[in-house]
Amino acid sequence: MRALVQRVRYARVRVDGVVVGEVGTGLLVLVGFAPTDTPELLRWMAHKLVHLRVFPDEAGRMNRSVQDIQGGLLIVSQFTLYGDVRRGFRPSFTGAAPPERAQWLYEEFLRICREHPLPVASGIFGAMMEVELLNDGPVTLWIEREATE
């Protein structure tokens, strides 16, 4: 599983010009899934995101989580995080979970994230989406973990 996480002042996702998900201060999380990802891995990632200390405390140090600041998560499925461009110029996506499996993983990940006491918004799996955000910092992190760890 791979996640590109951005601390945002706001983020929203549109499909066909209509806002389908948005958050104020919080995290925009672009997620990609591998065929071997498991529910245990999804739980690990959700826990990591909710407790990731990337928001400033009174001293300006990154010491607070999205949960601490009562922020939100906007989670957008993005299989292109598994794009491999080591050879040639066209990305290969053979490392990404097939669509049916990825959709199940995405929906399960959303369900797990929503078990936490904070707003969780999402995009629409498989849709052509426009993502708008105001990156705060900027703070951008890459989180990756394989199911075998």
Give the CA distances from residue 44 to residues 2, 55, 74, 88, 149, in Å, rounded to whole numbers and listed in that order. 12, 20, 17, 34, 11
Residue with tokens 């300006």: 60
Q: Determine if residue 17 is left, alpha or beta; phi over 0 gives left, psi from -120 to 50 gives alpha, anything else beta.
A: left
| Neighbour count for residue 85 (Cβ, 10 Å) | 9
Alpha carbon 100 to chain centroid, angstroms: 19
Parallel/antiparallel/unpaired status of strands 26-32 and 72-77:
parallel
Distance CA 76, CA 123 (A): 5
Active site (catalytic) residues: 78-80
